[in-house]
Amino acid sequence: MKIKFLIFIITISSSFFFVNAQERTKDTIDDQVVNVIKPYTPIISDAFKIKDTPKLSDSNSAKKKAVKYNIFSIPVASTFTPAKGKAATVDKAKTVKLYDNYASLGFGSYTTILGEVYLNHELSSNENVGGYFSHHSSAGGIEGLLLDDDFTKTSLNAHYSQKLRDFSWKVDAGFDLQTYNWYGLPQNFFGQAEADMIDPGHSFTSFNVGGKLRFEDAIIKDGSVRFRRFGDNQDSGENRFIAKANFDIPIRDESINTEILIDYIGGSFDKNFNDVGEINYGNVIFGLAPSYQLKQDDLTVDLGLKLVYLNDTELGDNKFFIYPNIEASYRLVDEILIAYGGVKGDLIQNSYYDFVNENPFVSPTLFIAPTDQTYRGFLGLKGKLSNNVSYNVKGNYYAEQGKALFKANDAQTFATEDYQFGNSFGVVYDDVTTFSVAGELNIDINRNFTLGIKGEYFNYSTDTQAEAWNLPDVTGSVFLDFQISEKWYAGASAFYVGERKDQQLLVGALVFPDPTPITLDSYFDANAHLGYKINDKISAFAKVNNIANQDYDRFLNFQVQGIQFLAGATYQFDF
């Protein structure tokens, strides 16, 4: 207790002493207000910030009322049973069986026989062997003729091909036999007496063998060789050998496509038209044609030239030719409108074989020489009017030196050969420039209907000849194929050939006819065919040719057969 009392006395005394000291030491300086002035520099923290969720002080705001949900499940009886889904079926067309082989045979008016056999057999997955046989003959019977007009054309071909890993090759051989008659006797010069002295038959035989080779991913792309022996029953003969190769020459990142050519021809005729002596001819052509293709956006340009060396083996004459080989195309409107053009040239190797296939009534007394096609310029537009309609319009200009023209041989009153009565044709050469305008329209609606229309107008200018003999001023053609139903099919074609010019004299008479060119009338030839598919293998067909029954002259004094009917059947099969 004593201690607690002592602490209380000390505390009271200390408080009294502190108050008394305060009163004695009071500060005598008066109070003053000091104002400090400085520029206001605001900081971001001073800015008034709007809260993302402002606090509302509206006294009428109501609190959200909590809502509680309760689901009452009531079972409902149901008798519905969903059916199982089924995939929809698509009606598929019946697969058409394709056969590798077929045989066709038909008979018609003018004792016409038409037959074809095509064979192809797969020895293994990369080997094939096959062949082709065709025959077309007629016993003739054109009214008003003094000589026989029958003809035959028979062809036989066999081939073998093999495809290996890096290349493929094919070899083939063929034989052809053709017989015709020089039946175009000018009846304004000769009659039945002279006709009885003439054996108008003229036959041709041809044998050829050759092959092709194609490489994959190699510098040499492909190559081909062909040898042909052609002759007739008038002791005429011709040999021709052609070898071609196509390869690329790499230069940095580009390549130059190059084609090389060797073309040899040699032949002879037993005599010339005037029985003076035999005719021998021979030429060998060496060609080199490099070209470079440039592509940029819608523009494609092929830049090249063709170098040709000609060696006349009979005359010992040598010539060197340089031809342009330029072509370009530009897509103006995608596939709708494409402009194209170019300038090209070539040395054309003429042959007895080619002349016979174009005009089988030539005499075996021809002079064979190449044609120098100095240049051929062309310019055109092509494209599509729709997905099913395409067109092509083109203008051409040819400049040719030594162009071959068929011209009727003069009729001789002192004739000793069967072809010297004005009933055959020879070949004359002239420098000819040709301007033409051509148009083409193709309509392919579907597999069941296709239509093609072509037409071309020609204008010729000759140097020494009075006319461009036997060249038409207008040509046109129409082709139509129509699949009527699954069983029936049909087709039609029509050809129009404008006027041509020719000339013929009677040699040896006291009075010579005026050497005025003769105009051959234009002609229109329409043809149609109809077929019926009996089953997958057998079908029957019928054809009609020269529907208008026009007795026009294909060549001077060589009238064609009138309307012709033919019917037959085709059989398809596999081995």
pLDDT of 17: 41
Higher pLDDT, 507 or 161: 161
Average per-residue pLDDT for the chain: 88
Q: How many helices (DSSP H) and strands (DSSP E) are in the chain?
A: 3, 28
Beta bridge partners of residue 284, listed in sequence order? 264, 311
| Neighbouring C-beta atoms of residue 123, cutoff 10 Å | 11
pLDDT of 575: 84
For 264, 277, 310, the CA distances from 313, given in Å and listed in that order, are: 10, 19, 9
Token pair, residue 189, equals 């010069």
pLDDT single digits (tens) 307-360: 999 999 998 899 999 999 999 999 999 889 999 999 999 999 999 999 999 999
User: Please, are residues 474 and 457 in contact by the beta-carbon 8 Å criterion?
Assistant: yes
Question: To the nearest whole percent, how much of the chain has pLDDT over 70?
Answer: 82
pLDDT of 219: 84
The identity of residue 19, as a single letter, is V
The identity of residue 482, as a single letter, is F
Token pair, residue 213, equals 């080779």
User: Please, are residues 282 and 238 in contact by the beta-carbon 8 Å criterion?
Assistant: no
For 16, 89, 284, the CA distances from 349, given in Å and listed in that order, are: 149, 61, 9
The average pLDDT across 92-120 equals 89
Torsion of CA 344, 213, 370, 324, to 10 degrees: 20
The average pLDDT across 39-49 equals 53
pLDDT single digits (tens) 181-212: 999 999 999 999 999 999 999 999 999 999 99
Q: Give 82's pLDDT tier (boundaries 50, 70, 90).
A: low
Distance CA 470, CA 455 (A): 18
Torsion of CA 206, 180, 541, 143, to 10 degrees: 180
Q: Answer yes or no: is pLDDT of 54 > 60.
A: no
Distance CA 375, CA 73 (A): 96
The average pLDDT across 36-63 equals 52
pLDDT of 15: 45
pLDDT of 512: 59
Q: Answer yes or no: is pLDDT of 366 > 90.
A: yes
pLDDT of 216: 87
Q: Answer yes or no: is pLDDT of 22 > 60.
A: no
Token pair, residue 286, equals 């060496």
CA–centroid distance for 64 within its chain? 82
User: Please, are residues 155 and 118 in contact by the beta-carbon 8 Å criterion?
Assistant: no
Phi, psi of 3 (to 5 degrees): -65, -45
Q: Give 280's pLDDT tier (boundaries 50, 70, 90).
A: very high
Token pair, residue 548, equals 């208008």
Hey, is 463 helix, strand or coil?
A: coil
Higher pLDDT, 120 or 67: 120
Q: Answer yes or no: is pLDDT of 93 > 80.
A: no
pLDDT of 251: 83
> 81: Cβ–Cβ under 8 A, 6 or more apart, which residues?
none
pLDDT single digits (tens) 397-441: 999 999 999 999 999 999 999 999 999 999 999 999 999 999 999
pLDDT of 276: 81
Domains of the chain and any CATH numbers: 101-573 (2.40.170.20)
Beta bridge partners of residue 20, listed in sequence order? none
Q: Answer yes or no: is pLDDT of 24 > 50.
A: no
**Of the given ranges (28-37, 246-255, 439-448), which has the lowest mean pLDDT?**
28-37
Token pair, residue 404, equals 């071959």
pLDDT of 431: 98
- Degrees to nearest 5, angle at CA 65 with 59 and 68: 175
Distance CA 439, CA 12 (A): 137
pLDDT single digits (tens) 486-543: 999 999 999 999 999 999 988 885 555 567 899 999 999 999 999 999 999 999 999 9
Higher pLDDT, 223 or 22: 223
Longest CA–CA span in the chain (Å) reads 192
Hey, is 197 helix, strand or coil?
A: coil
Phi, psi of 33 (to 5 degrees): -105, 125
pLDDT of 55: 54
| Neighbouring C-beta atoms of residue 529, cutoff 10 Å | 16
